[in-house]
């Protein structure tokens, strides 16, 4: 299935998509750091950069613990990815010397994830975000302290053949489409 943009956006926006079939290709530290560097340059409220990225490469000491914290339905395919990254974010900011709730840490972390995903696309990597993970187990496995929210875990890998997936997942393995513009953008006010 191909993706056709309704307006002439940069190709990278339609090229990026989230497969589940990954090859067993490993990712170099150099490539990973380029992805993290892209995330580092994401914009954030007051430039506070509340995101924290914790990663395990497949086969690393803590990878099995990270993988086990994902929902079983995500483990099935994410186990093959070259790396898993958790996007945490600091839930408070300092105002007048006091810690107050941050109104935008989730959004800021979202911008960082998208920057990483687009950078991955330019390097020939694919990413797949997951909200399906056990928060308590992930926090424990990755030593994420209180005061940081867990937003998403992201699998990064080289795209593989969908025949390597269980049948039900293979059937869904295609770039998705989007809501029509008229459903999401409104001049002046919402109807
Ligand atoms: C915040 C977030 C959470 C997601 N959680 C999961 C997940 O737990 N499992 C999964 O298989 N896909 C998950 N996805 C992938 C989405 O289903 C996918 O991004 C969406 O269908 C759009 O497809 P595309 O990324 O290929 O354009 C998640 C994506 C996002 C952005």
Any ligand 1 atom below 6 A from CB of 131 = yes
Any ligand 1 atom below 6 A from CB of 26 = no
Q: How far is the CA of 3 from the centre of ligand 1 (A)?
A: 17
pLDDT digit string, tens, across residues 162-182: 999 999 999 999 999 999 999
Among the atoms of ligand 1, which is closest to the Cα of residue 110? 1
Q: How far is the CA of 173 from the centre of ligand 1 (A)?
A: 12
Q: How far is the CA of 130 from the centre of ligand 1 (A)?
A: 6
pLDDT at 182: 96
Q: Which of 130, 151, 159, 171 to mutate to test the pocket of ligand 1 (most atoms within 8 A of CB)?
A: 130
For the chain, give the mean pLDDT: 97
The token pair that represents 86 in the structure block: 């958790």
Q: How far apart are CA 172 and CA 38, in angstroms?
A: 29
Q: What is the DSSP letter of 143?
A: T
E strands of 24-177, at which residues? 51-57, 83-90, 92-95, 98-101, 126-130, 148-157
Listed in sequence order, the residues at least 6 apart from 191 whose beta carbon sits closer than 8 Å to its beta carbon are none
- This prediction's pTM: 0.97
pLDDT digit string, tens, across residues 1-36: 589 999 999 999 999 999 999 999 999 999 999 999
Ligand 1 atom 31, closest CA? 129
pLDDT at 2: 83
pLDDT digit string, tens, across residues 84-118: 999 999 999 999 999 999 999 999 999 999 999 99
CATH 1.20.120.450 for domain 19-175, yes or no, is no
What phi-psi label fits residue 23: left (phi over 0), alpha (psi between -120 and 50 degrees) or beta? beta
Bridge-partner residues for 95, per DSSP?
A: 98
pLDDT digit string, tens, across residues 130-161: 999 999 999 999 999 999 999 999 999 999 99
Give how far the C-alpha of residue 33 lies from the chain's centroid of Cα atoms, to the nearest Å: 15
């Amino acid at each position: 299935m191909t993706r056709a943009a309704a307006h002439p956006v940069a190709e990278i926006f339609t090229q990026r998509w989230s497969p589940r079939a990954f090859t067993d290709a490993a990712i170099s530290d150099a490539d990973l750091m380029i992805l993290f560097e892209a995330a580092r340059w994401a914009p954030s409220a007051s430039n506070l950069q509340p995101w924290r990225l914790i990663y395990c490469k497949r086969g690393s000491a803590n990878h099995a613990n990270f993988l086990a914290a994902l929902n079983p339905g995500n483990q099935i395919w994410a186990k093959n990815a070259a790396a898993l990254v958790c996007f945490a974010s600091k839930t408070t900011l300092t105002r007048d010397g006091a810690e107050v709730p941050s109104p935008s840490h989730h959004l800021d972390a979202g911008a960082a994830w998208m920057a990483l995903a687009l950078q991955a696309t330019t390097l020939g990597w694919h990413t797949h975000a997951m909200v399906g993970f056990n928060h308590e187990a992930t926090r424990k496995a990755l030593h994420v302290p209180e005061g940081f929210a867990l937003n998403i875990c992201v699998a990064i890998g080289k795209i593989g053949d969908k025949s390597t997936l269980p049948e039900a997942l293979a059937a869904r393995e295609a770039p998705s489409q989007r809501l029509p513009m008229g459903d999401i953008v409104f001049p002046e006010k919402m109807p």
